[in-house]
Structure 1
């Protein structure tokens, strides 16, 4: 399951950390500090880059063997996943307009909680009671972090929780919809088919929700040429996050990816505080720490009792 060259694994993990944290911080900078308040258009840029680069990577360069869509029913399932994915990314970007990265990471760490609940409600998939018990500190940590968050914003909070729940919903749906052997797609091939559908969904959404955003963006770019470079680099990173995520899973395992993800979240919090200097309280840090600890314990319990 692992790659025989340990340096390839180390390189993939470092690249995954760098691209993941980079796109998160750049999103925050653009949407909050820079004042580019168009999260739907930003998501459209991400998905457009993912469409193009996925085609180049999979169809042309053969980074992974290309898998085909076998039926109209499978395509419909992929389209459903794409819409849910779009919703999660847009909500996540909207939340960054109002909340500091540290707080969004605390909420995002509750993804296992939503995944476990939705898996039970939708597909009656049950875990051992010990596994469910370990989710208590995950939720308690977010409640504590919310109480201690000086920059709390109710709209940002709702958007962030919605994004987290939608990510979990996509994960559960993916297991259900693409569970048969003939329909299984690896993450890079799934992105190849999801990204263009996401673009089709996001174009009218952008026109309806963010009128004249292209003209506004070009006007900003005429005054500050760095704007276009920010968007291009950010969009490239969005694809690179998916590529490195796939490579880390390939070289290690899905469980290792979860563990590394917990550490990545903590690192993203530390870096964001250093860069944006957002106020953070001791109570907030205790809450976030409790959430991360709960996720670690949950991961271990799931490994033992599943």
Structure 2
């Protein structure tokens, strides 16, 4: 058996060290990119909520506001496809049939969220939206046959209890805002269940990946909501229309609307980009942390009164969401090991 020369052995050691160094640099770069994406997701979502609430305070027409956010997102999508920044997908009849039900629930979810944001404090809307795991478990059990484990069911108790405690002492509480936020939970989780039901993965529905799917949903939502916006609210989002409503600075409001639309599209698209890099469970935990940041920021920015009981209820609900994410993550690891 031939013996390697000292020079050849040294070369192998050097090559191995270089390979390890490159792997380390690659992992560090990937971590930095993912961290930057999470930071952008949080920042865009915070900005969206702040701009959106300011607009809804002076222009209480949530259908029009939601439509404008879809229109801004659609313009960004078409521009990205035209310039080659994003690859334009091939739209077929199967694509339309698959995307349409998702667009319907996506439209309703965002519309109901805006209705809630217009009626109650931003912090309270996001506290109610912490109930999303509850709706996810119930709908998955009904339509997908997924039976939740006892550990998952236990995590739902603090979520439901925390939201109930927070609701009882919320200064801005009203049933319209509460039920709108609950409706958004139902529709958004219905969207997720529909995605699984239709198996909208890469290679299906015309070969749409996550980003292309989101872009197509945005375009479809803008088209779906436009006639309802015109019929129920008319088109008052013009300098003249705003002036008739008593808005003292129409240009400022229009700038807020555009900024909210930009942030709306940015945070949702970055969310889909993150979902391509991490597991759904990791994404849900990140979403929980994002909700905490949004609630804290909105309370500080709008100076909303928060009682000790309200803060305690919110904390309990969010702790339940975090526990739910951890339980689901452990279940995913066990399933991966079993396979």
Alignment TM-score, normalising by the size of structure 1:
0.91
Other-structure match for 1:285: 311
**Correspondence for 1:113 among 117, 134, 137:** 134
Please say if residues 47 and 198 of structure 1, whose CA atoms lie closer than 8 Å, have aligned partners that are also in contact. Answer: yes
SS where residue 51 of structure 1 aligns? helix
Greater shift, 257-266 or 101-110, is seen at: 257-266
Other-structure match for 2:337: none
Please say if residues 50 and 191 of structure 1, whose CA atoms lie closer than 8 Å, have aligned partners that are also in contact. Answer: no
Superposed CA RMSD in Å reads 2.2
Q: Counterparts in 2 of 1:204-223, with a 5 A limit? A: 204-215=227-238, 218-220=241-243, 223=249
Other-structure match for 1:266: 292
The change in CA–CA distance for 1:254 and 1:281 in structure 2 (over 3 A counts) is same
Q: Counterparts in 2 of 1:86-101, with a 5 A limit? A: 86-101=107-122
The change in CA–CA distance for 1:169 and 1:153 in structure 2 (over 3 A counts) is same
Using the TM superposition, give the Cα deviation of residue 182 of structure 1 relative to its aligned residue in structure 2, in angstroms.
Answer: 2.4
Structure ID, larger Rg: 2
Other-structure match for 1:241: 267
**Correspondence for 1:226 among 252, 260, 265:** 252
Superposed CA deviations along residues 106-146 of structure 1, whole A, max 9, x for unmatched, are 11111111011011111212222221222111111111111
**Correspondence for 2:60 among 37, 43, 60:** 37
The change in CA–CA distance for 1:62 and 1:215 in structure 2 (over 3 A counts) is closer
Structure 1, unpaired ranges of 5+: none
**Correspondence for 1:164 among 185, 190, 202:** 185
Using the TM superposition, give the Cα deviation of residue 99 of structure 1 relative to its aligned residue in structure 2, in angstroms.
Answer: 0.7
Higher relative contact order (CA 8 A, sep 6+): 1
Please say if residues 100 and 151 of structure 1, whose CA atoms lie closer than 8 Å, have aligned partners that are also in contact. Answer: yes
Using the TM superposition, give the Cα deviation of residue 157 of structure 1 relative to its aligned residue in structure 2, in angstroms.
Answer: 0.6
Greater shift, 126-135 or 98-107, is seen at: 126-135
Superposed CA deviations along residues 267-303 of structure 1, whole A, max 9, x for unmatched, are 1111111111111111111111111111111111122
Other-structure match for 1:150: 171
**Correspondence for 2:53 among 15, 21, 28:** 28
Alignment TM-score, normalising by the size of structure 2:
0.82
Other-structure match for 1:194: 217
**Correspondence for 1:125 among 146, 153, 166:** 146
Please say if residues 44 and 199 of structure 1, whose CA atoms lie closer than 8 Å, have aligned partners that are also in contact. Answer: yes
Using the TM superposition, give the Cα deviation of residue 223 of structure 1 relative to its aligned residue in structure 2, in angstroms.
Answer: 4.4
Structure 2, unpaired ranges of 5+: 1-25, 333-339
Other-structure match for 1:68: 90
